[in-house]
Structure formats: structure tokens, C-alpha cells
Amino acid sequence: MKSEEKPQRPPVLMSFTEVKPHLYLSGFGCITEKAIHDHGITHAVDATNIPNNKRLSSLKYFNVPVADDLLSKINKYFYEVANFVDSAKSEGGKCLVYCAAGVSRSACLVLIYLLLRENMTLRDAYYYLNQKRPIIAPNINFWRQMIAAEEVEKGEATVKLITGRLSKPIPDVYLHRAVKMPEQIQKYEKKKSGFCTGSESTPTIENDTKEVEVKEGEEENE
């Protein structure tokens, strides 16, 4: 009997993504001394939540011990991470923000940095980062915290959550992604987590305590 094949990791999962000249995003698996040296990284935000994680002596670290789940409070680190990234920039260095795969926790922290320090809306920050790293997909708990942070920082939220015949809500920016998540990555993520961010069902938009129906026939524009 043929054993079930494990999904292969897409190449983008094993690479650094340059977000800004002083800011990079990645997963843990691609961090090597050579890669750090080649990219000129001097600072690192470790959001893996892995005990006794390997550390490189050449880097200054900031630790974000948060699990990638529906309960963790990542928002308490938003401003501290932004300050740490800025300190790398002011010292003429470069900061790498990483988690297990460079998909959820690290993406969330980078999105918030773009919101807080690059004067982007959350919507624009998502589209900007999606162009550079199509696999980004913060979990819905982190999206709620980012949306709340934007409301506090900017006075209004530019991203809404949509529901419908979905098992979980998704942010409406997924309906008009600037770059479609590569098919190979979609298959990998689906096999790994059992969660798919796309749906053919007609969604509704979460708006505080009420839901507003999206017009019939509105489709994802990818």
C-alpha cells in the first residue's frame, strides 16, 4: 500500500522577503549564518514561540512568545516590535521578523509596522506585503487585533471581516488580493492546516454586531 505523500514545502516558505531596505520577513527554516550575513541582518524579532530556540551571536533579538492560535494576544507587542525595527534602522542595520513559516505571526507584526511607521492603512499594508510575499495569512484572531489597532491609530478600520458559509471569517482584502496565492502554496496550506482561505459562497461583512450582505455575484478579483 502506497504511503500518503507529505506536501512539499513551496520554495517561498524557505526564503527571505525584503519588505523595506531595513526590514525583512521569513520563516525559521531558512535562517542560517550565511543568509543572515548575505542580507546584512543585524536585528531579529523571534516570533516562533519555540523554547530554547537557536540564536546567532551576531544578532540583537527581540522575543515575541506568542502562539499562532485564536486566543493569543499579539497586540501587546505591536509598539515594542515597531520600536525595535526602528532602532535597527536608526543604527544603520536591518531587522528580520520571523516565525515558524513567515505566514501568520511575523506577517502580522510586519503589517502593523507598516501601519504604525510607514503611514499605510491596514488595507494598503496588506496589498503591499502580499505583492512581495503571497503566502501571508495571519490567523483571524490576529486580524481582529490588527483591525482594532487601526481603529485606535487611524480612527477607522479599512479592513472588514466577512462571513457566510465559511467555517471561519476572513478579511475582505482576500477578495481582491494584489497577488493570488500560488496554487502550490494553497495546496500545502490546505493539507497542513485543513483551512482554506477561499470560498465560493456568498459572504457577509462583519460590522461590529451586525452583518451586511455583500452583493450577489461579487467574486474574488485575482
Active site positions, annotated: 99
Cell numbers found for residue 34: 550565511
For residue 98, what is the enclosing H or E element? Answer: strand 95-99
The β-bridge partners of 26 are 98
Q: What are the DSSP calls for 130-197, one per residue?
A: HHH-TT----HHHHHHHHHHHHHHHSS-S--EEESS-SS-EEGGGGG-SSPPPHHHHHHHHHHHS--S
